[in-house]
């Protein structure tokens, strides 16, 4: 038969998933009752936040732990810690432990989306993030394309995040703080996850990463309208979106679905970026419209927004000493287009 003292000692060692301190330290064990005739243990726990995926994990830990200690059955109820108790355990009194998901967060969110893969959405994401940083903004970038992560390679990032005081420190490159699933996967291994697991990873990127004070957080979304895009829409109701397309009518038609999903979930589409708009010959300076014309304008009209910029087909100039294979320099022809787009984005987001 397990005793109340044993229950308090065992459960007290487990950590509050938001505060990252033990339940004993947070005074999170509110009540312990034992029915000896049934060998049943009933526990009420108080957490910094209830209703999270981590709460379910904690519940399973408690049940397994107490059954191993001798209980026949275990009942658990959850409540939330008082504001007075929460203030005792926060390093920053304004920090509610939710990170970027906190209602107190001043960071502005901008998702970069597309209807299909291969239109250059990630290239747009990294160059827009770097351009915003070049204009003096404090910028973060989440590579939320968890199956098809590419941001670290595009930005020439070879470092990995470190953990400090139980928080993940993002890698900073070209003035942008970056986090990506690619940092946590060995040898480019495939990701075989279902929707709830993807949502948990995305939540971790928002809450367990030490972003610091950001003006903007950009999210490079997976193409289409799948689980991750839905999670972003539900977790970040104030998020704005940019839709990337090529001039081809089919690409614009497919991209319209991503834009329609954003609108249906109350995300404002602030603009369209048309990538691969044309190819300009270095010899003749003549423009070849390889993928046709009009896709960007058509999509912008359908979504009742504007075309923020048109990007030609052209490779960045590579610097072997500071290698970032997809980043354009600010004085490069394409780099100047990105700087113009970044200025427009600032004027829209800072209204």
The order of strands in the sheet holding 176-180 is: 171-173, 176-180, 139-143, 216-220, 108-114, 240-245, 268-274, 307-310
Question: In CATH, what number is assigned to the domain containing residue 63?
Answer: 3.30.300.130
For residues 144 and 236, membership in a common domain is answered with: yes
Q: Is the distance from CB of 190 to CB of 161 less than 8 angstroms?
A: no
pLDDT value, residue 312: 93
For residues 88 and 107, membership in a common domain is answered with: no
For residues 67 and 213, membership in a common domain is answered with: no
For residues 177 and 310, membership in a common domain is answered with: yes
For residues 83 and 164, membership in a common domain is answered with: no
| Total number of domains constituting the chain | 2
Q: What percent of the chain has pLDDT over 90?
A: 43
Asked which of 45, 69, 93 is the last residue of a domain, the reply is 93
Nearest to residue 129, comparing CAs of 144, 117, 118, 119? Answer: 144
pLDDT in 10s for each residue of the chain, 351 residues: 789 999 999 999 998 887 778 999 999 999 999 998 888 999 999 998 887 777 888 999 999 999 999 989 999 999 999 888 877 775 444 455 566 777 777 889 999 988 878 888 999 999 999 999 999 999 999 998 777 788 999 999 988 888 876 788 899 999 999 998 878 766 555 555 455 555 577 778 888 888 988 999 999 988 765 566 666 767 777 789 999 999 987 777 788 877 877 777 677 899 999 999 999 888 888 999 988 888 899 899 988 999 999 999 988 888 777 788 999 999 999 999 999 999 999 999 987
Question: In CATH, what number is assigned to the domain containing residue 227?
Answer: 3.40.50.300
For residues 277 and 345, membership in a common domain is answered with: yes
Contacts of 117 (CB under 8 A, 6+ apart): 148, 223
For residues 291 and 168, membership in a common domain is answered with: yes
57-111 confidence digits (pLDDT tens): 899 999 999 999 998 999 999 999 988 887 777 544 445 556 677 777 788 999 9
Task: Tell me which H or E stretch contains 341.
Answer: helix 333-349
For residues 276 and 191, membership in a common domain is answered with: yes
Give the number of other CB atoms < 10 A from CB of residue 48. 22
Q: Is the distance from CB of 87 to CB of 93 less than 8 angstroms?
A: yes
For residues 280 and 203, membership in a common domain is answered with: yes
- In angstroms, the first-to-last Cα distance of the chain is 64
For residues 89 and 142, membership in a common domain is answered with: no
Print the SS3 string covering 228-254.
Answer: HHHHHHHHCCCCEEEEEECCCHHHHHH
pLDDT value, residue 91: 45
Residues forming beta bridges with residue 164, ordered by sequence position: 167
Q: Is the distance from CB of 326 to CB of 123 less than 8 angstroms?
A: yes
Residues forming beta bridges with residue 350, ordered by sequence position: none
Q: Please state the pTM of the whole predicted model.
A: 0.70
Domain that holds residue 73: 4-93
């Amino acid at each position: 038969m397990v005793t109340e003292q044993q229950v308090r000692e065992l459960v007290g060692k487990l950590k509050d998933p938001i505060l990252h301190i033990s339940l004993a330290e947070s005074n999170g064990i509110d009540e312990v009752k034992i029915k000896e005739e049934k060998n049943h243990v009933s526990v009420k726990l108080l957490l910094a936040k209830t209703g999270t995926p981590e709460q379910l994990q904690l519940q399973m830990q408690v049940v397994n732990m107490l059954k191993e200690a001798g209980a026949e059955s275990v009942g658990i109820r959850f409540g939330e810690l008082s504001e007075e108790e929460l203030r005792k355990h926060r390093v920053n009194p304004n920090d509610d432990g939710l990170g970027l998901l906190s209602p107190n967060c001043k960071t502005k969110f901008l998702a970069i989306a597309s209807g299909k893969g291969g239109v250059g959405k990630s290239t747009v994401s990294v160059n827009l993030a770097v351009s915003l940083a070049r204009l003096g903004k404090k910028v973060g970038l989440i590579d939320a394309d968890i199956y098809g992560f590419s941001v670290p390679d595009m930005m020439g990032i070879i470092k990995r995040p470190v953990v400090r005081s139980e928080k993940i420190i993002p890698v900073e490159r070209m003035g942008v703080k970056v986090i990506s699933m690619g940092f946590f996967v060995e040898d480019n291994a495939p990701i075989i996850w279902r929707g709830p697991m993807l949502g948990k990873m995305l939540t971790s990127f928002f809450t367990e990463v030490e972003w610091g004070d950001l003006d903007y957080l950009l999210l490079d979304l997976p193409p289409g309208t799948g689980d991750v895009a839905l999670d972003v829409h539900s977790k970040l109701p104030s998020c704005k979106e940019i839709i990337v397309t090529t001039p081809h009518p089919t690409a614009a038609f497919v991209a319209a679905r991503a834009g329609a999903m954003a609108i249906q979930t109350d995300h404002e589409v602030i603009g369209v970026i048309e990538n691969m708009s044309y190819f300009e010959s270095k010899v003749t300076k003549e423009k070849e419209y390889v993928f046709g014309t009009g896709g960007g304008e058509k999509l912008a009209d359908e979504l009742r927004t504007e075309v923020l910029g048109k990007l030609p087909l052209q490779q960045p100039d590579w610097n072997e000493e500071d290698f970032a294979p997809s980043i354009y320099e600010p004085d490069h022809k394409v780099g100047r287009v990105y700087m113009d787009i970044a200025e427009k984005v600032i004027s829209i987001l800072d209204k």
